[in-house]
Amino acid sequence: MKTMTCKQLGGACDTTFSANSFEEIVAMSKSHGMEMFQKSDMAHLEAMNKMTELMKSADSNAMQNWMKSKEAEFDALPAHE
């Protein structure tokens, strides 16, 4: 199992997510993001806007490259129980 924070995943806080795979971490992060969106948390809304801009980037691979870099960061983390 590995742990990443909301901030490490492009978010706005130090909430931690622990999972066995990057895909699980992404799902947890998305769920957290939706919760923060529903609460109108300004810091998270700003982080979401940055992600939206990345998705709209003129570089069509920008979001894919960002995700690959985050997955590599996850892969490099030490496992824990």
pLDDT band of residue 1 (cuts 50, 70, 90) is very high
pLDDT of 77 reads 96
The verdict on residue 48 lying in a domain is yes
What pLDDT is stored for residue 55 in this prediction? 83
CA dist., res. 5 & res. 69, Å (int): 15
Does residue 30 lie in a domain region?
Answer: yes
Number of domains into which the chain is organized: 1
Beta-carbon contacts of residue 58 (< 8 Å; ≥ 6 apart) = none
Residue 67, CA distances (Å) to 10, 51, 70, 76, 81 in order = 10, 11, 5, 14, 25
Distance CA 8, CA 59 (A): 22
Q: Which domain holds residue 52?
A: 2-76
In a domain, 81, yes or no: no
Give pTM, 2 decimals.
0.88
> What are the tens digits of pLDDT across the range 37-75?
999 999 999 999 998 988 887 777 888 999 999 999 999
Q: Taking the alpha carbons of 70, 54, 44, 25 in that order, is the dihedral positive or negative?
A: negative
